[in-house]
Structures are given as C-alpha cells and as structure tokens.
C-alpha cells in the first residue's frame, strides 16, 4: 500500500475517534435550555468528522487518482523532499502554541507569520514584516471587535 493510503488509514482512525466523541460524548453535559437549540457545540465537530472521514475513504479507495501518474511520494526517498522545512514549520507551530498566552496574540502571531515565511524561503524582510503585521492586526480586530471574543493582545506583564 502506498504511503498516502497509510496516512489516510491513520487519519481515518483519528477521524472515527473524533467523530465518536462528537456524536456520543460531547453533548452529554449540556444544559437543558441548550438541548432545544438547533445548533449545538458539537455541530461543527460532527460535520468536520463526516467530511474528514469521506476524504480519508476517497484516498483509501483511490478515487482521487487519475490515469496519469504525476508524482507519487516515494517513501524510500523521503530525504530528497523538503522534509527539513516541514519539520521546522511543525516545530514553529508548537512554539507558537506555547507562546500564545504568555507573549500575547499580536507578538506571537506576527512572529509566527514572519518566521514561517522565512522558513518557506521568502527573503524580502520588509514585505514579510508588513504582511505579517497587517494580517495579525486584521485577525485580532475581527475577532476582538467584530465578533466580541476577547483575545489577549499583549503579554501579561504589559497589561494584556
């Protein structure tokens, strides 16, 4: 079995576990007034588990494959791919998750976007800084002011 099918099989197990949690365990402790709502807190996880399961099954059964072989991933030559960039991005995501609360949303997100674009090969420093700052402030403004969800913009020691 090809590498993409093995990955799809592992993801299918994760999706089925996630779907089980969404369908059978998430709504057990809902307040009585919430049980009458048309949309519950588990609605999005239910839809997400169904769509992800369908995507995994499509890959497992090979329905996405065309007759033309463009370039399958050769698991024996994994080191020929940009594996270092992928691992550095994964590490950066972990660091971002750990720094989000103590460093605040604005600093950690702009640093994540800046460093992520650097890892992917962008070298125009001014454009990287401008784009990361505009994207960070736009997302913060939409979530904080438009949606009304509080996000700590600054580190705790600065009054965030």
Q: From 68, 78, 67, select the one nearest 4 (Cα to Cα).
A: 78
Predicted TM-score (pTM) of the model is: 0.56
Distances (CA, A) of 24 to 11, 17, 28, 75, 106: 20, 11, 8, 37, 37
Residue 74: helix, strand or coil by DSSP?
Answer: coil
Domain ranges for the chain, please list them.
3-68, 83-158
pLDDT in 10s for each residue of the chain, 160 residues? 677 888 899 999 999 999 898 888 877 777 777 777 777 777 888 899 999 999 999 988 887 776 555 566 666 776 777 778 889 999 999 999 999 888 888 999 999 999 999 999 888 999 999 999 999 999 998 888 887 777 777 776 666 5
H or E stretch at 52: helix 43-60
Residues 99-129, buried b or exposed e (16+ Cβ, 10 A)? bbeebbbbbbbbbbbbbbbebeeeeeeeebe
Which position has the token pair 């971002």? 96
């Amino acid at each position: 079995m090809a590498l993409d099918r093995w990955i799809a099989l592992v993801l299918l197990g994760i999706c089925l576990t996630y779907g089980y949690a969404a369908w059978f365990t998430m709504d057990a402790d809902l307040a009585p007034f919430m049980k009458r709502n048309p949309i519950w807190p588990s609605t999005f996880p239910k839809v997400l588990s169904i769509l992800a399961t369908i995507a995994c099954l499509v890959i497992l059964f090979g329905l996405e494959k065309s007759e033309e072989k463009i370039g399958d991933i050769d698991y024996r030559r994994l080191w020929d791919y940009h594996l270092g960039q992928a691992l550095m991005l994964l590490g950066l995501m972990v660091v971002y998750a750990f720094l989000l609360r103590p460093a605040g949303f604005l600093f950690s997100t702009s640093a994540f976007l800046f460093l992520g674009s650097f890892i992917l090969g962008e070298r125009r420093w001014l454009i990287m800084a401008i784009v990361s700052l505009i994207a960070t402030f736009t997302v913060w403004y939409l979530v904080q002011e438009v949606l009304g969800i509080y996000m700590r913009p600054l580190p705790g020691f600065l009054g965030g």
